Chain A
Amino acid sequence: MRRLLKYLKPYTLLIILSVTLLFVQANADLALPDYLSRIVNNGIQQNGVENSLAVAVRQSEYDKLILFVPQEDLELVQGSYRLITPEDQEALNYLDEFPILKEEAIYLLQDLDQAQQDQLNLVLGKAFVTVSGIQQIVDDPSRAAMLGQGFGFDLSRIPAGMDIFQALGALPADTRAAISARMEETFASLGENMINQMAVGAVKTEYEALGMDAGKIQRDYILRIGGTMLLISLLGGAATIATGYLASRTAAGAARDIRADVFKKVESFSSAEFNKFSTASLITRSTNDVTQVQTVIFMFMRMVLFAPIIGVGGVIRAIDKSASMWWLIALAVLILLGLIIIVFFVAVPKFKLMQQLIDRLNLVTRENLSGMMVIRAFNKQDEELVRFDQANRDLTETGLFVARVMVTMMPLMMLIMNGLSLAIIWVGAHQVAESTMQVGDMMAFMQYAMQIVFAFLMMSMMFIFLPRAAVSGDRIADVLETEVEIRDPQDPKSFPATFRGQIEFNDVSFRYPDAEDDVIQNVSFTAQPGQTTAFIGSTGCGKSTVINLIPRFYDISEGSITLDGIDIRDVKQSDLRDKIGYVPQKGTLFSGTIQSNLLYADPDAAPEVLQEAAEIAQAVEFISAREEGFEADISQGGTNVSGGQKQRLAIARAIVKKPPIYIFDDSFSALDFKTDSALRRELKKKTGDSTVLIVTQRVATVKNADQIIVLDQGRVVGQGTHQELMKTCQTYQEIASSQLSKEELA
């Protein structure tokens, strides 16, 4: 995959943007449980009162609180609250919210920055708890002894009827400080969390005293948080959709660029590179493999990048909620990872095996289908059934094993997740009891835990998935990084204006790259314009190779090939090929119509030219047999015409080009002898001045050539006319005698 990274470069901005959006999405996802916990903690448990920062306090209560504010914080408290008396002009503004203002002056909380709020919260919290504690004793003296311990002196000693706060206020400052010091110890044992929760109760009571609508406070709080949650999930949703948009554009865009480059590269390949990869493999590489890469890029941007973000974010938030329960998550993740690793090692080899078994089953089936005639002729149906059954059974057994591994894993994973929730509740409950955590936080923690676990699962799945996709990437990169061997020269020469078409081979040798032996060796001959030069020899003798060197499908290893005296490596490939009418062995056609195929040689050819070419190629008969004539469809690969018809159309195509050089690579093999000879007769008339090169296995085809070159194992073993060769060349004699009877050989 790394080798394809450069294709992501144009999309860098989109990727950065989408990572940013992933952060937004992750944060949105992670924020929601936090807000739920606030609803539970503050909204329900604390009736919508968040902390001890009371928005307003009665003057009487304020005076009591002040008693328990340490000297150093006094200024902060006094600066934070502003007195409003019933007589004040602005009192009217606040009357609705605080009905008590009619009778009593109140202190209103001023705007504060976060640091001040935090400090004030703690200070006021302690004051509220102390005051409400004392109040409880006053209300219910029987509890005095219990609560009094915390205050460091026996409140019951205060004379009856005397206001306890007055009494306390009357105490010298240093006595009060001593009391406060004792209180600090108690507070320390309670923890901030508990102080806050207890203070919130007192604040609530104060609100009631102010005449505020407690229900409304709670409702407002829940709605406010709920509204925020809604906004957050909207934001998260929008971010997700935007990421999806960016990811799909990036993935599809990069795939498009890669596909275009691969295709262009392959089109520039010479036969050497083509053979190195094989056609089928090149097709897969430029289609399926690219699609695979596209999927990976998309998944990568959507999930692989997301998993660590939400995982780390989840860990941070979870630890924030409860630093001491992280081990539960770690444990669950460890167990799950262990499970996945086990499954990975148990199942992955089986997956591979399964693919082999499927291939095996397909192979047996294909053999059964393709060999049906032989199988039935030999009465081997039963044996084939046994063979199939064996393959089927093997596949079934492995398939069952794999399915059951999954069947075992799924409930186990569920169990681990559920177990994690239960463990969190159990451990969390104890922490709640110790006041180190609130219930809502525990609920949020549970959700964070799940998010973290899923992030880990996602990542581990990616580790299984990505290597498979990387193979596709490498296969593509292999194509892209292949150097094309046959290139145009730096300063191309051009052919003379009056091109004759004389081909000369000077001591030409050729071997395939990495091959040990030459395919053809020291071949020399001259093919003259207006003459037919034929190549004959048994299969594998190199005769096709020889003529495929002329259009530079391969480059020769030694020697030189010249056209009208110019080395073919010194001209542009397109100039060279413009001179050549090439007819391949298999009669390759392209989808379209008969006409479009003929026009492939020359887009500007007139209809008469096409007609004439078809006549020469003996194709008129079957073309006119079709209703649409030249407009008749040719399906992909020319599957709707017979082999012989394909060859004739391919020949007609070359004729349309009217080239000075014709190359026929065993192009008559699918024609019966009658058509073959008629075609060659017509061709001879029309090709007149052209240089004609023919490769064939049929002696009859070469018999009248001006020059016959006999090849055996890549070497020229005979050169001359039929008559000459019958006298001088043993190989030619053998070939001829195997095909012709004695009379005809004469």
Chain B
Amino acid sequence: MSEDKRTAPQTRGPMGPMRGPMRGPSPGQGHGPMSMMKGEKARDFRGTMAKLLDYLGAYRLGILLVMVFAIASTVFTIIGPKILGQATTKLFEGVLALISGTGSGIDFSYIGRIILITIGLYLTSAIFSFIQGWIMSGISIDITYRFRKDISQKINRMPFKYFDNTSQGEVLSRITNDVDTVNQTLNQSLSQIITSVVSVVGVLVMMLTISWKMTLVALTIIPLSMGIVILIVRQSQKYFAQQQEYLGHINGHVEEMFGGHLVMKAFNGEAESVAKFNGLNDTLYSSAWKSQFLSGLMMPVMRFVGNLGYVGISILGGYLAIQKVITVGDIQAFIQYVNSFTQPITQIANISNILQQTAAAAERVFEFLEEEEEIPEVEEPVIPDEIKGHVEFKNVRFGYDAEQMVIKDFSADVLPGQKIALVGPTGAGKTTMVKLLMRFYDVNEGAILVDGKNIKDYRREDLRCMFGMVLQDTWLYNDTIMENIRYGRPGASDDEVIQAAKAAHVDHFVRTLPESYGMVLNEEASNISQGQKQLMTIARAIVLDPNMLILDEATSSVDTRTELLIQNAMDNLMQNRTSFIIAHRLSTIRNADWILVMNEGDIVEQGKHDDLLKKGGFYADLYNSQFDVVGAE
């Protein structure tokens, strides 16, 4: 506790960004420490807090130590001013004696002793505070680490169904923002609750030992400042919410107009867009300045109230000192106490807010951790030995949600080594079948058998091992091209990787890249086209050398000339392997052994290309439409 806490809050503003380096720039920043802007609440505060405490259980000893040191540190700081006041008093008395000519002047040995004691107090307090912070930061960072780890493990155990309804951004936000909020607020609230309460009680006690009358004056400040705080917060929250809302509108308009820039230009919408923006901008301005003004008001108003207390204490203290009820040092100490009184009180007022934030963030994290997981593996799984590749679908029914069946009654018998094409319009359920086969989802009714065994009886890992997959949505990760192609079979040699790349006709392209196979792909891999990426994923499947193959629009982004070129490699890859091919481009599937034509979740036709064409049914219709020519009627 320093000499003048009145000015202390000023510096905490700019230090804010340093304390929260995890966050990006947010509109809330710079509103000062006392802006209680987030009104977010947890649905089940108690339940979440209980879980959080449970999570904290492992750190019981550490937290106990933190508490002890926090209390000790606060107590030591609180005693400081009172003892130091004695030095001032002694000095004052010495001066008085000097003036009146009585006594021997200032007792420097006494003052020196007091100062030494105070130094000791402050030093101890600083050391304790340091130890407390050291332990606490360790705990909270460890909790953060554990939270993140738990979430990442959880992701792997969750069914795909969850991610159908949850955006990536949401999960990401839990793993970074929410965990971070828990960390920060936990850190803050845990040590603040302790120090604030101890401070308030301690300061109160110390003030009472000096003078109950002055304490009374000091205490009248509290309801005053509390009232003002609540008043301002209520007002500023209103405008803050408004500001956020209008900011949202502006951002929406900006995103939309910049995103559709060409269309806006093409339809001469510039003036209209700017006019709309200016309207939004003006509305934002009127709430923005009010919000900023009001949230910035808190500090000066609190300072003013603090100053009122300061004046009150000065007057009453002076008066009492004349009466010889208190000493000059007492006034000095008292002023320090009053100054250090308002801060913990605002903190305590804020703590419920902080706890609410903690709970809200923690709740989201726990919610995620408690989400339903994948159906557990069977207890005695089938161990596949020699995989023939016989796949059988028996009256499969499936829907992403129970009401809406995507696959209604799908039956097919695929013999080992067959090349099966799944054909049908968008939304027919082709990709869904693949997902069921890989057990990304479980069928609602019916069964899928591989080599005569229900796929549910295999371990997921063993089942998935049998298949090599190439998807339309290429996924490559942040590593070298070499490692990306090797992904399926870590044991593959560099040479095998290069052979695979050659087969997929991507070797030449890779060699034109800055570091060839050593080039690290970044997230967007912006200098590599979608087509090239698809070729790499094909190379990845070639390296894997799986028992069965699934190609889901594997060459959709490869231009048709290149596709012809890699057809050979694909044919080789599919030789004697049970393969499932999904393609929009019907030219890709002309030479499949068997074509399953799907529409609205059912097989509507099946057979060989030529037979199906002759039949003149759904397939023929679909096939011919691509050559349908305008004005041909």
Contacts and interface: CB of A to CB of B under 8 A. Distances in A.
Contact of A636 (B13, B256, B265): B256
Given A372-B163, A574-B268, A703-B629, A406 B19 contact: yes
B234 interface: no
Interface in A172-230: 194, 197-198, 201, 215, 218-219, 222-223, 225-226, 229-230
Which of B108, B277, B318, B478 is packed against the most chain A CB atoms within 10 Å?
Answer: B318
A400 B137 contact: yes
Contact of B314 (A35, A240, A642): A35
A79 interface: no
A133 to B, nearest CB: 10
Contacts of A358: 22, 176
A442 B425 CA distance: 88
Nearest to B292: A248
B293 A244 contact: yes
B6 to A, nearest CB: 8
B10 interface: yes
B259 A403 contact: no
Contact of B88 (A379, A407, A417, A439): A439
Interface string A125-144: 00000000000000000000
B587 A741 contact: yes
Q: Looking at chain B's contact residues, is the secondary structure mostly helix, strand, loop, or mixed?
A: helix
Nearest to A585: B262
B11 A218 contact: no
Contacts of B304: 233-234, 236-237, 240
A369 interface: yes
Contact of A292 (B25, B118, B137, B315): B25
Contacts of A425: 84, 87-88, 91, 111, 115
B268 A404 contact: no
B155 interface: yes
Contacts of A370: 168, 475
Interface residues of A, number: 188
B365 interface: no
Contacts of B133: 404, 406-408, 410-411
Interface stretch (B143-151, B386-394, B401-409, B510-518): B143-151
B529 A411 contact: no
Interface string A297-332: 011001100000000000000000000000000000
Interface stretch (B94-102, B376-384, B447-455): B94-102
Contacts of B625: 672-674, 676-677
A657 B260 CA distance: 18
B400 interface: no
Interface string A522-566: 000000000010000011100000001001010000000000000
B91 A703 contact: no
Which of B87, B129, B155, B252 is packed against the most chain A CB atoms within 10 Å?
Answer: B155
B465 interface: yes
Contact of B156 (A381, A601, A636): A381
A450 B332 contact: no
A148 interface: no
B176 A362 contact: yes
A680 interface: yes
Contacts of B145: 392-393, 396
A196 to B, nearest CB: 10
Contact of B464 (A36, A269, A378): A378
Contacts of B218: none
Given A259-B250, A588-B262, A657 B11 contact: no
A268 interface: yes
Interface in A228-281: 229-230, 233-234, 236-237, 240-241, 244-245, 247-249, 251-253, 255-256, 259-260, 263-264, 266-271, 274, 279
B622 A366 contact: no
A644 B426 contact: yes
B282 interface: yes
B289 A249 contact: yes
B27 A291 contact: yes
Contacts of B137: 400, 403-404, 406-407
Nearest to B140: A403
Nearest to B270: A267
Given A368-B155, A369-B163, A672-B625, A590 B256 contact: yes
A637 B257 CA distance: 10
B310 interface: yes
B344 interface: no
A282 B477 contact: no
Interface stretch (A93-101, A576-584, A621-629): A576-584
A9 to B, nearest CB: 17
B22 A287 contact: no
A410 B11 CA distance: 12
Nearest to A296: B30
Contacts of A295: 29-30
A578 B266 CA distance: 8
Interface in B161-213: 163, 168, 171-172, 175-176
B631 interface: yes
A704 B631 contact: yes
Interface stretch (B57-65, B495-503, B557-565): B557-565
Contact of A36 (B88, B94, B314): B314
Contacts of B252: 591, 636
Interface string B403-417: 000000000000000
Interface in B316-366: 317-319, 321-322, 328, 331-332, 335
Interface string A433-472: 1010011001100110111001001100110110010001
Contacts of B471: 373-374
A440 to B, nearest CB: 8
Contacts of B270: 267-268
Given A378-B488, A433-B94, A590-B256, A399 B268 contact: no
A368 B119 CA distance: 55
A234 B308 CA distance: 9
B160 interface: yes
Contact of A365 (B123, B171, B531): B171
Contacts of A282: 258
B303 interface: yes
B611 interface: no
Nearest to A255: B288
Contacts of A461: 11, 14-15, 18
A361 B148 contact: yes
Interface stretch (B42-50, B294-302, B569-577): B294-302
Given A229-B314, A384-B156, A551-B265, A299 B13 contact: yes
B108 A681 contact: no
A363 interface: yes
Contact of A298 (B18, B126, B292): B292
Nearest to A463: B14
Which of A201, A442, A588, A698 is packed against the most chain B CB atoms within 10 Å?
Answer: A588
A364 B289 CA distance: 40
Contacts of A234: 304
Contact of A237 (B13, B136, B301): B301
A577 B254 contact: no
Contact of B91 (A354, A368, A429, A741): A429
Contacts of B168: 366, 369-370
A52 interface: no
Interface in B554-603: 559-561, 563-564, 584-585, 587, 590
A426 B114 CA distance: 10
A735 interface: yes
5 contacts: A245-B293, A287-B247, A388-B149, A588-B262, A676-B628
Given A229-B314, A253-B289, A738-B563, 17 more contacts: A43-B318, A43-B322, A219-B322, A222-B318, A259-B250, A263-B254, A263-B277, A298-B292, A392-B149, A396-B145, A411-B127, A417-B2, A429-B91, A432-B91, A454-B10, A674-B628, A704-B630
- Report the 4 A-B pairs with minimum CB-CB distance, sorted nearest first: A738-B560, A407-B133, A237-B304, A240-B300
